[in-house]
Amino acid sequence: MNFFAACPKSLEELLASELLALGAETVKQTIAGVHFTGADNLGYRACLWSRLASRILLPLLRIEEADNDSLYREALAFPWEDHIDAAGTLAIDGHGSNESLRHSQYAAQRLKDAICDRLRSAQQRRPDIDTQQPDVRVHLLVRGAIAQISLDLSGAALHQRGYRQGANSAPLKENLAVGLLLRAGWPEVAAAGGALVDPFCGSGSILIEGASMAADLAPGLQRPYFGFIGWRGFDAAAWRTLLAEAQRRADAGRQTEPPRYFGFDHDASSIKTARANALAAGLGNLIEFRQQAVTALTPPAGFASGLVLANPPYGERMGDPQLLADTYREFGNALHPAFAGWKAAFITSAAELARATGLRSSKSFQFFNGALECRLYAFEPGSERAEWRAFDPDRPYSEAAQGLKNRLLKNRKHLDARLQREAITCYRVYDADLPDYAAAIDVYEGGWLHIQEYAAPKDIPEATARRRFNELLRVAGDVFALPRERIAEKTRLKRGRAVQYQRQDEQGQFLVVHESGLRFRVNLFDYLDTGLFLDHRPLRHRVRALAAGKRFLNLFCYTGSVTVYAVAGGATSTVSVDLSFTYLDWLEANLVLNDLASPAQRLVQGDAVRFIQNDPGQYDLIYVDPPTFSNSKRADDFDVQRDHVQLIKDCAAHLATGGLILFSNNNRRFKLDHEALAGLVIRDISKQTLPFDFARDARIHHCFEIRHPQT
């Protein structure tokens, strides 16, 4: 039987090993999950015993060319009566979209209609909808042309073990806690009789999960609800057998597991919550919780070895960078050398905080705490300490860093009056002005910085480049009085074309910013670019001024900010083309955000080059802003220098009488082939479209007005 186990990104390898241990015959890792096969009851066993999975899915139906009609048609033909009792309740979880199924909620609605119509025909009634705890939960995933429909055997996220009575302000999900324990080596430490200590225990997840692992408690044993119990294919006898086995193992484990778990936190309410959670998990007699500052941390009496595993504060809600650095330094001081002979590990999202411990890590592992990218640093407390390099505002700047600070302050003062006069809230304040600090710094509305580090020359040692970038982060944070978590950092490496524009992160954190009376969603963390090209601000204004009464085409539309300007300027219709579903969804959200969405705004998912070659339409205003290059698997390779002539000619063939093409690109070495385009009237407007905050770099983009000759 085929199954799929979903999990947080970064746990795939651990989950694959766990599933093999549970009896899976084959496993295949993918992003945020594992495909696996096994006996019919393996799905139940995985729901009961997997400490790492988020959900266990049973694939039922795969639609190869999914659109509005085929989704309904093929789902209607599927024998849902074999799986769902029409007298019960149903929920549909929809994820993803494509050109036809534009919204995940719409796709879920079409699937629900098909299932209900099928059951009404087969059983003369339809199920009720219960989104919270349905008898059967169906999972729909649309990716490109393919729709995968599965039964959610788990019913609710498996990290919800059933013991949590409460949580602190930044709880650690239970399956992530297990991932940290496995990477930190807890199974080996536990087998050797070592203790487990968490000096920042919060609501107790790490200790409860660690004790549960050592005591052989099935993580799903206390869950009152699973999605397969209301499934018509449910084998109750097999489930009772699995439950009885798990209960016997739990009873034995609780009797034999020693009390070797110690949790500390400075916050009294967190300790109270942790105790309640441990009691609810049936582990209250094994774990000692005590209110205590990290400075008082010492090895528990009677244990010469063990594991210290910590999730220190590092998120946005956790306060001042200096206080955080002090906390990490105190943590490192408490561990070294008092915990010599122990293993230790901690997770954080900030490398400078990790360095503040003064502990030299032996290895590190990437994790995602929700959407926040973090690293688990593992080390031996008794080993040699690293040089302490905490983020310390009182530590003097180097001469070069002080020069950088002076330059940033000067730039801010120079820009400030015009920014206020023109109500500009997102702008560039620095762009490699000083050779030692090769980066661009953009300010975003609401107190955010977006810092893009340029690749250092080959003759600059990596350690030097890293030190300079860390200095830049510190100086920028000081000048703008922002904590580290409000600074998004990107590194523009000299990469192969296949990876230069791939997703950077998975935070999913969107901000709304204002520009010229319009609103736009931006994402500073997840992509190389943020969703709003700041250097195109004057171009967007030009489009709005030209758009009234025009049929507007936006090729390579990205997140559609130019389309929003065109609609706001009075365009009678717009067509926006991009290969990315993500960007088209983003465009749609921008239109909705500005109350500009309507049937007159057409969004097309596809290759922009092929579209303009085959589209029969005529347009009065065409905006073309292609990438420097693209080698997507879903489109032909594109190189703007090589292919711009044919692209412009194809656009000109669709240009209405008196129409205008605005052609832009950001290839610094771009040269327009005027000779090959001699039949068109071309005007270089690059200088006129350069924003004042980008004036230091005249090559940031190239822009041309292109028309047919007057007849």
Mean pLDDT of residues grouped by 10 in the chain (711 residues)?
Answer: 95 96 95 94 98 98 93 96 95 89 87 96 93 95 93 96 77 93 97 97 96 98 94 96 97 96 95 95 96 95 96 62 78 91 92 80 85 86 54 70 95 94 95 94 94 84 83 92 84 40 50 95 88 96 98 97 98 96 94 95 94 94 94 75 96 96 95 96 96 91 94 50
Instruction: Report pLDDT for 517.
Output: 95
What does the alpha-carbon distance between residue 164 and residue 207 come to, in Å, rounded to a whole number? 13
What does the alpha-carbon distance between residue 320 and residue 309 come to, in Å, rounded to a whole number? 23
Which residue in this structure is represented by tokens 């703008």? 480
3-state secondary structure of 230: coil
Which regions of 539-680 does DSSP assign to beta strands (E)?
Answer: 551-555, 573-578, 601-605, 619-624, 629-630, 638-639, 655-665
Instruction: Report pLDDT for 470.
Output: 86
Instruction: Report pLDDT for 625.
Output: 97
- What domains sit in the chain, N to C, each tagged with a CATH number? 2-152 (3.30.2130.30), 533-707 (3.40.50.150)
Instruction: Report pLDDT for 335.
Output: 93
Q: H helices of 135-285, where? A: 174-184, 186-191, 205-214, 236-256, 268-280
Using an 8 Å Cβ cutoff, are 331 and 357 in contact? yes
Pairing state between β 195-198 and 551-555: unpaired
Instruction: Report pLDDT for 635.
Output: 65
pTM beyond 0.85: the answer is no
Using an 8 Å Cβ cutoff, are 433 and 407 in contact? yes
| Angle between helix 174-184 and 12-21 (nearest 10) | 90
Using an 8 Å Cβ cutoff, are 78 and 61 in contact? yes
Surface-to-core class of residue 8, CB atoms within 10 Å of its CB (0-12 exposed, 13-18 middle, 19+ buried):
buried
What does the alpha-carbon distance between residue 528 and residue 666 come to, in Å, rounded to a whole number? 14
Using an 8 Å Cβ cutoff, are 528 and 501 in contact? yes
CA angle 395–438–374, rounded 5-degree value: 65
Instruction: Report pLDDT for 319.
Output: 47
φ/ψ (deg, to 5) at 636:
-70, 150
CA angle 247–253–254, rounded 5-degree value: 90
